[in-house]
Structure 1
Amino acid sequence: MLDLLPDLCDHYGEDVRWLPLPTHDYGGRTIFYGEVVTLRCFEDNSLVRDIVSEDGTGKVLVIDGHGSCRLALLGDQLAMLAHNNNWEGIVINGAARDIGTLGTIDIGVKALAACPFKTEKRQTGDRNVTLTVAHTLVYPGDMLYADRNGILLSKKALDLSVVGDD
């Protein structure tokens, strides 16, 4: 399967929300989906570590870094930790780093940009809150579907059997 979102839009157009966030694919997996876990934080990835240390089976972490690309909210160590704990992917309204290594880890990673600087550690942020990202509401428990076409959100899990083999 090379594309997921176009078929989902064709079959579930009324049931999905487009997240018009201009992200780049940095992870080793470009197609991923799962239940949303949300985190709002600004230039501090302390809670990212806490969350990806938990079992992420069937889940996608959506981090609202308020669009700041001054400090990276995810790097290779946290991505590997997320991979080892079975997270499907991470979407960042902000920056990531260690881009070359991220591409070798079998996890979906979408971020606005790359930045080589790490964050401060202040243990600040809000977990499992409703986010407003790119004028779109992202709720904890939403289902997120991502590929190179972008990101879709749905209130419920979608039947992926409607997706054709491209």
Structure 2
Amino acid sequence: MSIQTADICDTHREKVQVAESVFKQFGKVKSFSGSIHTVKVYEDNVLVKKALQSIPEGSVLVVDGGGSRKCALLGDNLADIAVTRKLSGIVVYGCIRDSAQINEMDIGVFAIGTNPLKSNKQGKGQENIPVQFAGVNIEPGFHLYADEDGILISEDQLL
């Protein structure tokens, strides 16, 4: 199903939050939607990998990386887990690496940028908690809709 955020805004404006346009788009999948699962980490991607390995098929992983641009929280190996497990997409409020490889993969990824440096591996952070960035409040179980025009968050499943 092709997601069109502009149409969703036209029909359900009072039910959606629109994320600020701080993200770049990666991956072959240009539109996706799904139920949100969250992790909050800072320059450490152990919980990102754990979530990618465990959240349900069709879900969207939202990673609050604190907006850090000092290292990457997602690379091609983790993106491959998302593809294999048929996750809908990934949003990273932080950086990714291996962007050329991710751009050839059947996954949709939004991130604020790229950085070739890998993250720490200490396992610090929190899972399945409300997070806030890019002007939106995101809670586990909310729904995310994304395409080339941007990212929408809704408490309700709209499609």
For Structure 1 versus Structure 2, the TM-score category normalised by the shorter chain is: over 0.9
One-letter identity of the residue aligned with 1:145 = Y
Residues 143 and 154, structure 1, Cα contact 8 Å, conserved in 2: yes
Kept in 1, the 8 Å contact 2:60–2:91? The answer is yes
Structure 1: state its 5+ residue gaps.
160-166
- Whether 1:84 and 2:95 are equivalent positions in the alignment is no
TM-score by length of 1: 0.92
Alignment of 1:97 with 2:94, yes or no, is no
1:114 aligns to what? 114
Show CA shifts across 1:69-115 (max 9, x none). 11000000000011101111000000000000001111110000011
- Partner of 1:14, secondary structure, is helix
Q: CA deviation at 1:56?
A: 3.2
1-side partners of 2:119 and 2:47: how far apart? 11
TM-score calculated relative to the size of structure 2: 0.96
Contact 1:75–1:98, Cα closer than 8 Å, also in 2 = yes
Q: Distance in 1 between matches of 2:21 and 2:138?
A: 12
Matched, 1:38 2:38: yes
- What is the CA–CA distance in structure 1 between the aligned matches of 2:92 and 2:105, rounded to whole Å? 16
Kindly provide the amino acid, as one letter, of the partner of residue 95 in structure 1.
Answer: C
Instruction: Count how many residue pairs are aligned between Structure 1 and Structure 2.
Output: 159
Q: Secondary structure at the match of 2:90?
A: strand
The alpha-carbon deviation at position 134 of structure 1 amounts to 2.0
- Cα deviation for residue 136 of structure 1 reads 1.8
Task: State the 4+ residue runs in structure 1 displaced beyond 3 angstroms.
Answer: none
Gaps of 5+ in 2: none
- Structure 1 residues 35 and 79, CA gap change in structure 2 (3 angstroms): same
Work out the CA distance in 2 between the residues paired with 1:97 and 1:113.
9
* Alpha-carbon distance between aligned partners in 1 of 2:71 and 2:135, rounded to the nearest angstrom: 23
Partner of 1:53: 53
**Paired amino acid for 1:58:** G
Q: Which amino acid aligns with 2:150?
A: G
Residue 162 of structure 1 corresponds to none
Residue 138 of structure 1 corresponds to which residue in structure 2? 138
Shift of 1:55: 4.7
Partners of 1:120 and 1:28 in 2: CA distance: 27
Which residue type is aligned with residue 49 of structure 2? R
Q: What's the counterpart of residue 11 of structure 2?
A: 11
Aligned counterpart, 2:28: 28
